Structure 1
Amino acid sequence: MVKELHSDVSDKAAGIDVTDGFEPFAQRNDIFTRAFWDPAVRSARSDAFFASYRMEATPRRGDGFGQRDFALRNASWLISDVMTDRFADQGRREGFQAPISADTPVAPVALKVTDSNDMSREIKKVARFFKADLCGITGVDSRWHYSARIDTRDLSDAPNNLPEGITSVIVLGHEMDADLVDTYPAATAGAATGRAYSQEAATVMQLAAYIRNLGYEAVPSMNDTALVIPYALQAGLGEYARNQMVITPQFGPRLRFSKIFTSLPLTHDSPKPLGVRAFCDICTKCAEACPVKALPFGPPEVGGTNISALKGVRKWTSDAEKCFGFWAKLASDCAICLRVCPFNRDFRKWYHRLWLRLALSPLRRLALRLDQGRGGRKKPGTWWSAP
């Protein structure tokens, strides 16, 4: 039995607008899974896109798309790939189409937890030790769980169950390398994504092992099992943006997220409205920069006409087919929308923190004007030649 609690009040604080037409998302409809079964998405280009991660596709010529660029990108995915492929013969592509299997048994005697606040602080400290850059905790919300997962052997639906007693979701953020992000959409930039996935694979497995050693259930999870963005919003890590990403006050949108489902007694964090929605209402920089115009220009709308969109939630929704089609053309991932986002800044620097205060205040239009000229693409060769 999974215990969950959500309310209209918490939804509003998290910026989540669920309507009567809501339906849980079927994992087979995500655009990457559709590339294996849906003729509307699958093509010779999409097959070459996946082949490029095995260096089977001939790299393109040009700065950022040479052999060393693809080699760096593919090497950055290695740890994630090793973990993902270990039970592929059982139809479990773990971390993406199935939760990550437990490598540590639950200790037979559970550590007594007398204060869930103290335990939450402890978990966040251990998460940082295992290289998570952000950590928030929220309750289980089955609305975000896939109605079914995928058996990768034949692409049939498979059960999407969690162990008994799960009460909390630990959401972890993993920073992407800022210098590489600035080179999107080059293959070189894909190394920022791959390295973050490899790091999060290690982090969620180690943190879950720690919790299981304390005597509590813990299921490490990446893109599998449930949608992570609404969980990140509910855990108070950031706010949803026009570019479909979570904007955080520490790293802007430059993060990947993972999660752990656990029975460990924990205190839950609260959503923290920042003011990102109001800024995105007046900013269309990501939509303007998208080469295939896959991002919306208008206000948030209820999605559902596209099978890769979440039905019954009012939000900004991309055209997944256009987006993935461009990825397939490049034979690499594109995150131009991340690169050009005004929040994609180094907030360790005082002047970027000052800009953030403006952007999240009624002076947001001034902040938008001050952002003009930023977000241009850096040549990948510059990254390679840097000391």
Structure 2
Amino acid sequence: MHNTAPQNDTDARAGIDVTDDFERFAQRNDIFTRAFWDPTVRTKQTDAFFASYRMEAAPRRGDGFGQRDFALRNASWLISDVMTDRFAQDGRREGFQAPISADTPVAPIRFDVNDLTEMSREIKKVSRFFKADLCGITSVDARWHYTARIDVRDMSDAPNDLPEGITSVIVLGHEMDADLVDTYPAATAGAATGRAYSQEAATVMQVAAYIRNLGYEAVPSMNDTALVIPYALKAGLGEYARNQMVITPEFGPRLRFSKIFTSLPLAHDVPEPLGVRAFCDICTKCAEACPVKALPFGAPEVGGANVSALKGVRKWTSDAEKCFGFWAKLASDCAICMRVCPFNRDFRKWYHRLWLRLALSPLRRAALWLDAKRGARKKPSLWWENG
């Protein structure tokens, strides 16, 4: 791996502002990993949160939090869970605390790559075939890789190594169901998250297998190995927003990201600023809607509120402890900040595409005014009744 300098031209184009105080992130400080070992985060509520995914502690209260809502959410995670648990006995919770193991060998004969741009086009076509909704490609950047991975048997640090020769990162986006997102923070809405994770598990494994069949290394990855948001920004898929998400022109914030580390020779995409940062500068809908006020109101700052914050990067940073504490209280994930985001629209419709052009222009205040009444939560019961 390479490129450990604090700042470069691609950073500027991607809206990444790295300072001299930058430190690589330790995966054990991720708020979800801390919930397994850190007594300041792990509580009876967090234990109940994880138990609810096994239907051991599912609450029975209110619209969107009944047995069928949790049943749908948990079923949506099934494929991801099966993949993740395969090697847990060896300390590898793959896709989250470890990269996904290869299920096919690297072919002994390498496919000749004579045109990098054409090879990248083909990889994007193959990614779409395997149900990725977005695909961008960028160079490996060691700054965003965890200093160590976690052995889940005893929560100790373990080597976070990749095979030799890895030069590129393929970043894939997976759309979340819009109707379910509109019901956040209900357990029903969690099915949008789980289904996206199950789909991305299949997609990254299949695309990586395709590349290995061409004779090149390919390591499928979800939340493991490296921070995915910087890679999504570098790959030109979108821009970073106040709600800690990547806003894409195709789906707004309504998607999950995965990645594949590969030695396949590829052309890299160039990020282009769209104007999301300027819009977020005047919009605080996500911060206002956050029940525990975990999102910032002011300008981007260096550092963060606690050890789960990335150090040495000037950006909007949430209070992860407040955020996850609310998740634990609900026994389900909360993405109210995604639901209320003005960019959470169906851009397949012409009038939403027109709004997007307005929002990314100097007339962004008019776009914010037009959005004033959007983002109201839809009743989960209506999702079950409709259609």
Q: 2:253: which partner in 1?
A: 253
CA contact (8 A) 1:3 1:165 kept: no
Give the alignment's Cα RMSD to 1 decimal.
Answer: 0.9
Secondary structure of the residue aligned to 1:173 is strand
Residue range with higher mean Cα deviation, 121-130 or 5-14: 5-14
Q: 1:266: which partner in 2?
A: 266
Q: 1:131: which partner in 2?
A: 131
Secondary structure of the residue aligned to 1:172 is strand
Q: 1:87: which partner in 2?
A: 87
Q: Which amino acid letter does the alignment assign opposite residue 385 of structure 1?
A: E
Secondary structure of the residue aligned to 2:135 is strand
Q: 1:222: which partner in 2?
A: 222
Give the Cα–Cα distance (whole angstroms) in 1 for the partners of residues 179 and 150 of structure 2. Answer: 35
Map 1:39-118 → 2, pairs under 5 A: 39-118=39-118
The answer to whether residue 291 in structure 2 is matched with residue 291 in structure 1 is yes
CA contact (8 A) 1:25 1:310 kept: yes
Give the Cα–Cα distance (whole angstroms) in 2 for the partners of residues 283 and 124 of structure 1. Answer: 33
Give the Cα–Cα distance (whole angstroms) in 2 for the partners of residues 250 and 5 of structure 1. Answer: 31
CA contact (8 A) 1:14 1:233 kept: yes
Give the Cα–Cα distance (whole angstroms) in 2 for the partners of residues 337 and 244 of structure 1. Answer: 9
User: Deviation at 1:58?
Assistant: 3.4
CA contact (8 A) 1:106 1:216 kept: yes
Give the Cα–Cα distance (whole angstroms) in 1 for the partners of residues 9 and 268 of structure 2. Answer: 15
After superposition, the C-alpha distances for 1:51-99 in whole angstroms (9 at most, x for unaligned) are 0000000322210000000000000000000000000000000000000
TM-score norm. by structure 1 comes to 0.99
CA contact (8 A) 1:5 1:139 kept: no
Structure 2 CA distance for partners of 1:105 and 1:12, relative to 1, 3 Å: same
* Gap runs ≥5 in structure 2: none
TM-score norm. by structure 2 comes to 0.99
Give the Cα–Cα distance (whole angstroms) in 2 for the partners of residues 215 and 10 of structure 1. Answer: 29
User: Deviation at 1:272?
Assistant: 1.5
Q: 1:155: which partner in 2?
A: 155
After superposition, the C-alpha distances for 1:11-70 in whole angstroms (9 at most, x for unaligned) are 110000000110000000000111111111110000000000000003222100000000
Give the Cα–Cα distance (whole angstroms) in 1 for the partners of residues 102 and 270 of structure 2. Answer: 29
Secondary structure of the residue aligned to 2:71 is helix
Q: Which amino acid letter does the alignment assign opposite residue 166 of structure 2?
A: I
Give the Cα–Cα distance (whole angstroms) in 1 for the partners of residues 3 and 165 of structure 2. Answer: 10
User: Deviation at 1:247?
Assistant: 0.1
Give the Cα–Cα distance (whole angstroms) in 2 for the partners of residues 279 and 246 of structure 1. Answer: 13
Secondary structure of the residue aligned to 2:270 is coil
Q: 1:10: which partner in 2?
A: 10
After superposition, the C-alpha distances for 1:288-307 in whole angstroms (9 at most, x for unaligned) are 00000000000000014510
Give the Cα–Cα distance (whole angstroms) in 2 for the partners of residues 5 and 126 of structure 1. Answer: 31
Secondary structure of the residue aligned to 1:18 is coil
Q: 2:198: which partner in 1?
A: 198
After superposition, the C-alpha distances for 1:138-163 in whole angstroms (9 at most, x for unaligned) are 00000000001100000000000000
Give the Cα–Cα distance (whole angstroms) in 1 for the partners of residues 8 and 151 of structure 2. Answer: 35
Give the Cα–Cα distance (whole angstroms) in 2 for the partners of residues 305 and 296 of structure 1. Answer: 10
User: Deviation at 1:375?
Assistant: 0.5
Structure 2 CA distance for partners of 1:145 and 1:210, relative to 1, 3 Å: same
After superposition, the C-alpha distances for 1:256-315 in whole angstroms (9 at most, x for unaligned) are 000000000000001110100000000000000000000000000001451000000000
After superposition, the C-alpha distances for 1:176-198 in whole angstroms (9 at most, x for unaligned) are 00000000000000000000000
Give the Cα–Cα distance (whole angstroms) in 2 for the partners of residues 182 and 281 of structure 1. Answer: 24
Secondary structure of the residue aligned to 2:259 is strand
The answer to whether residue 229 in structure 2 is matched with residue 208 in structure 1 is no
CA contact (8 A) 1:3 1:166 kept: no
Count of residue correspondences: 386
User: Deviation at 1:110?
Assistant: 0.3
Q: 1:172: which partner in 2?
A: 172
Q: 1:360: which partner in 2?
A: 360
Give the Cα–Cα distance (whole angstroms) in 2 for the partners of residues 330 and 304 of structure 1. Answer: 24
Give the Cα–Cα distance (whole angstroms) in 2 for the partners of residues 50 and 248 of structure 1. Answer: 30
After superposition, the C-alpha distances for 1:198-226 in whole angstroms (9 at most, x for unaligned) are 00000000000000000000000000000
Give the Cα–Cα distance (whole angstroms) in 2 for the partners of residues 58 and 371 of structure 1. Answer: 35
Q: Which amino acid letter does the alignment assign opposite residue 287 of structure 2?
A: A
